[in-house]
């Protein structure tokens, strides 16, 4: 019996530890069997020669790395089925490609996952992979398919904080040694708001301390805060402001641009058809789905791996390397506007915005800018042929995606309605303009037909009166007694200067939630209208230069430079929240912060 006592004591201790762990957040490993990491052979440092698309075509199978214990993204249920947002998305992508989906269990260790991509153990990672700047040297990321955020949860009540600024000098709990703790400390340094950080072993413990009044807030991912407070959600409030954004994307092997294009086009196709919204609503009930922007020429058929190259075309010369020896950046995309031209104010503003934007970016790289004259119409051709390093003001288009890379968009624009400020309550959109006359600028000959088509599609009747762009505001405010109009309809580029020059009398219509009301053609099935964007185009598969452009734009958002420049072409209150990847402000030895 004495011999058995230590054994029995050990068993009881093990059972006690297991019982204690029930209800706590799962540790960052996977359910058994957890893959055993292989030794690093340096394979990840080699440039790929063949795309993962080749393996998918050859096998008729796509191997997708997924997490098995990260609800609601991926979890192995009691029936042995892999379910969750990521799991459903993986199946939908494989179904769109007409191939079998083979889930591969992965850990949350980024280095191990990157080696699996490099070895071909998986063709892509769809494992709640945050697009973190620390990882971009190991893997390449798709567009963001889920934008979450780390934020704060506070107690409910009128006397409780409603913004991050109100948390100054208050006690904030966070799980020790987690990304949330790192994000909280980075946010303090950047914002200048000081909080008293209290660490806990589990999120449950932090939540209980909040309810007990021992702390004033809890920091973590918004979806995790929602999970831990799900039993009594009325007791807490989760703030809308981020301490750090969490852009979640699909990872592929670095410089496998063929696979990246296949993934991105499929994500956009699932967005276009509404499938992405269906998956989102299944796992994030009650939360608003923000769809990704669908590029031009997405097509009506699902993307097929057979339509994408199996071999990789790497650049003959990398832009960043060339700039080190020859620090002059060739920029295409500007119209031929000179000091003595009679271009309207809208074109002058857009031209000036682009010049200042490019000069600001180049100054952070320590290079000078040379604009290719009058190159707006052939900007993509110039970048594809090597006649320019970068093109600005371009429209992302799937018919050109095999020639150049498109960045995230830095500017939103599109058709808008301008009305008198005193009519803001009575006129909210085209429905309130039935049997009325609207102004159209003479510089937009196709806009009149588009406005009439919008009205006719909804059995409304409108008349159009085409006038000079500069006179739209004057006429709308009754400057000519013979012209009676109720609104002006045009590109936002043309209307924004008029509103900014006379903000007390002219406004652009908005939706009930205060968001801009765009009237450009829809980009998603079932959608009424949409906005349009402008992006940069960089040489195809020149990943480091594209990432340099992306991160520089994000740093300009973070320090307020880009929003300030955008006020030349957008209303300040309509500038959107741009995506910022978490991580350092340096890339390739460039310090991009101001």
pLDDT in tens, 75-132: 999 898 999 999 999 999 999 999 999 999 998 888 899 999 999 999 999 999 999 9
Q: Is the pLDDT of residue 57 over 80?
A: yes
User: Bridge partners of 65?
Assistant: 104, 125
Q: For residue 161, give both structure tokens.
A: 């904080």
Burial of 17 (0-12, 13-18, 19+ CB in 10 A): exposed
Can you list the alpha helix ranges (DSSP code H) found in 22-144? Answer: 52-59, 85-97, 110-119
Cα torsion through 502, 437, 450, 353, rounded to 10:
-10
Rounded Cα distance, 352 and 332, in Å: 14
**Res. 23: pLDDT tops 50:** no
Residue 184: DSSP 8-state: H
Do residues 62 and 123 make contact, with C-beta atoms less than 8 angstroms apart? yes
- State the CB neighbour count (10 A cutoff) for residue 480: 12
Higher model confidence: residue 285 or residue 25?
285
The single residue listed with the structure tokens 């009679």 is: 342
For 269-287, give one letter per residue: b (16+ CB within 10 A) or e.
bbbbbebbbebbeebbeee
End-to-end CA gap in the chain: 72
pLDDT of residue 336: 83
Please report where in the chains the tokens 């199946």 appear, as a residue: 91
**Residue 279, φ and ψ in degrees, nearest 5:** -65, -45
**Burial readout 103-133 (b: 16 or more C-beta within 10 A, e: otherwise):** bbbbbbebebbbbbbbeebbbbbbbbbbbbb
- 42 secondary structure, DSSP code: S
Greatest mean pLDDT among 22-36, 372-386, 499-513 lies in 372-386
pLDDT, one tens digit per residue, over 147-178 is 999 999 999 998 899 999 999 999 999 999 99
Higher pLDDT, 336 or 141: 141
Q: Any residues with CB less than 8 A from the CB of 141 and at least 6 apart, and which?
A: 129, 131, 135, 249, 250, 251, 252
Q: Coil, strand or helix: which one is 50? A: strand
Mean pLDDT over 353-378 rounds to: 97
- C-alpha 396/C-alpha 323 separation (Å) is 25
Which of the residue ranges 255-259, 311-315, 368-372 would you say has the lowest mean pLDDT?
311-315
Half-sphere CA count of 532, side-chain side, radius 13 A: 17
Q: How many residues does the chain have?
A: 594
Quick one: pLDDT at residue 68?
95
Q: Residues 291-316: what's their mean pLDDT?
A: 95
Cβ-based neighbours of 263, under 8 Å, separated by 6 or more:
93, 124, 142, 250, 252
Q: Are 451 and 477 in contact (CB under 8 A)?
A: no
Q: What angle (nearest 5°) sits at the alpha carbon of residue 302, between those of residues 301 and 305?
A: 125
Comparing CA positions, the residue from 384, 522, 554, 401 lying closest to residue 454 is 522
Provide the percentage of residues in the chain whose pLDDT is more than 90.
Answer: 84
SS3 213: coil
Residue 46: per-residue pLDDT: 55
Please check whether residue 371 is in contact with residue 325, taking contact to mean a CB–CB distance below 8 angstroms: no
Q: With a cut of 50, say whether residue 25 has pLDDT above it.
A: no
Residues 39-48 pLDDT 10s: 444 444 456 7
pLDDT in tens, 173-214: 999 999 999 999 999 999 999 999 999 999 999 999 999 999
Q: For position 42, what pLDDT does the model report? A: 43
Q: How far apart are CA 323 and CA 329, in angstroms?
A: 7
Does residue 142 carry a pLDDT above 80?
yes
Which tens digits make up the pLDDT trace of 213-249? 999 999 999 999 999 999 999 999 999 999 999 999 9
Instruction: List C-alpha distances in Å: 494 to 66, 112, 537.
Output: 47, 51, 25
What are 102's strand-pairing partners? 63
Residue ranges of domains in the chain, CATH in brackets: 43-139+253-307 (3.40.190.10), 148-244 (3.40.190.10), 319-413+530-589 (3.40.190.10), 415-508 (3.40.190.10)
Residues 6+ apart with CB under 8 A from 495: 416, 418, 472, 488, 508
| pLDDT digits 0-9 by tens, 58-84 | 999 999 999 999 999 999 998 989 999
Please check whether residue 96 is in contact with residue 36, taking contact to mean a CB–CB distance below 8 angstroms: no
The residue with tokens 């020896």 is 325
Mean pLDDT of 441-469: 93
What angle do helix axes 345-365 and 543-558 make, rounded to 10 degrees? 110
Average pLDDT over residues 10-27: 39
Supply the mean pLDDT for the chain. Answer: 91
**Rg for the chain, CA atoms, rounded:** 27
If pLDDT is split at 50, 70 and 90, which confidence band does 410 have? very high
- Please give the Cα distance from 247 to 150 (Å, whole number): 11
Residue 32: pLDDT above 80?
Answer: no
Q: Could you read off the pLDDT of 491-546 as tens digits, one per residue?
A: 999 999 999 999 999 999 998 777 899 999 999 999 999 999 999 999 999 999 99
Q: Cis bond leading into 33, ω under 30°?
A: yes
pLDDT tops 60 at residue 9: no
Please give the structure tokens belonging to residue 591: 């310090």
What is the spatial distance between Cα 446 and Cα 442, in angstroms, rounded to a whole number? Answer: 9
For residue 333, give both structure tokens: 């995309």
Which region holds residue 181: left if phi is over 0, alpha if psi is between -120 and 50, else beta? alpha
- DSSP, collapsed to helix, strand or coil, labels residue 472 as helix
């Amino acid at each position: 019996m004495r011999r058995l006592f230590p054994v029995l004591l050990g068993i009881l201790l093990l059972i006690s530890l297991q019982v204690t762990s029930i209800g706590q957040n799962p540790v960052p490993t996977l359910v058994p069997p957890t893959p055993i990491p292989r030794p690093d052979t340096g394979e990840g440092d080699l440039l790929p020669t063949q795309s993962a698309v080749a393996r998918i075509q050859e096998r008729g199978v796509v191997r997708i790395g997924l997490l098995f214990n990260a609800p609601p993204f991926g979890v192995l249920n009691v029936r042995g089925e892999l379910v969750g947002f990521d799991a459903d998305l993986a199946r939908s992508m494989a179904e769109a490609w007409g191939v079998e989906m083979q889930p591969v269990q992965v850990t949350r260790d980024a280095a191990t996952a990157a080696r699996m991509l490099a070895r071909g153990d998986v063709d892509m990672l769809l494992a709640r992979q945050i697009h973190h700047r620390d990882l971009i040297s190991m893997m390449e990321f798709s567009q963001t398919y889920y934008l979450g955020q780390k934020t704060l949860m506070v107690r409910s009540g009128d006397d409780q904080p409603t913004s991050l600024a109100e948390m100054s000098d208050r006690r904030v709990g966070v799980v020790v040694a987690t990304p949330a703790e790192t994000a909280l400390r980075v946010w303090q340094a950047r914002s200048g708001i000081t909080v008293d950080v209290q660490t806990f072993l589990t999120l449950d413990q932090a939540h209980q301390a909040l309810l007990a009044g021992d702390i004033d807030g809890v920091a973590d991912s918004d979806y995790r805060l929602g999970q831990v407070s799900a039993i009594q959600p009325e007791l807490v409030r989760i703030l809308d402001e981020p301490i750090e954004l969490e852009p979640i994307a699909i990872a592929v092997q670095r410089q496998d641009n063929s696979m990246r294009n296949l993934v991105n086009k499929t994500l956009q196709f699932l967005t276009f058809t509404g499938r992405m919204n269906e998956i989102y609503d299944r796992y994030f009930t009650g939360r608003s789905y923000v769809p990704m922007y669908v590029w031009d020429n997405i097509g009506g058929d699902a993307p097929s791996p057979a339509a994408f190259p199996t071999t990789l075309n790497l650049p003959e010369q990398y832009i960043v390397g060339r700039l080190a020896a020859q620090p002059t950046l060739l920029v295409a995309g500007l119209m031929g506007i000179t000091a003595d031209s009679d271009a309207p104010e809208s074109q002058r503003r857009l031209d000036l915005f682009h010049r200042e934007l490019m000069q600001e970016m180049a100054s952070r790289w320590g290079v000078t800018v040379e604009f290719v004259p009058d190159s707006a119409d052939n900007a993509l051709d110039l970048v594809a042929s090597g006649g320019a390093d970068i093109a600005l003001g371009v429209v992302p288009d799937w018919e050109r995606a095999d020639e150049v890379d498109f960045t995230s968009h830095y500017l939103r624009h599109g058709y808008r309605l301008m009305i008198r400020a005193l009519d803001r309550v009575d006129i909210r959109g085209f429905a309130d303009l039935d049997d009325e006359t609207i102004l159209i600028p003479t510089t937009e000959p196709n806009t009149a037909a588009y406005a009439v088509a919008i009205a006719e599609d909804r059995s409304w009747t409108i008349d159009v009166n085409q006038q000079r762009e500069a006179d739209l505001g004057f006429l709308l405010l009754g400057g000519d007694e013979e012209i009676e109009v109720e609104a002006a309809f045009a590109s936002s580029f043309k209307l924004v200067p008029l509103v900014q020059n006379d903000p007390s009398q002219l406004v652009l219509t908005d939706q009930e939630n205060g968001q801009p009301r765009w009237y450009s053609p829809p980009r998603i099935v079932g959608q009424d209208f949409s906005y349009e964007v402008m992006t940069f185009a960089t040489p195809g598969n020149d990943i480091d230069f594209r990432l340099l452009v992306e991160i520089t734009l994000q740093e300009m958002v973070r320090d307020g430079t880009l929003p300030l420049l955008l006020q030349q072409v957008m209303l300040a209150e309509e500038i959107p929240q741009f995506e910022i990847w978490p991580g350092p402000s340096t890339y390739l030895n460039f310090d991009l912060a101001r």
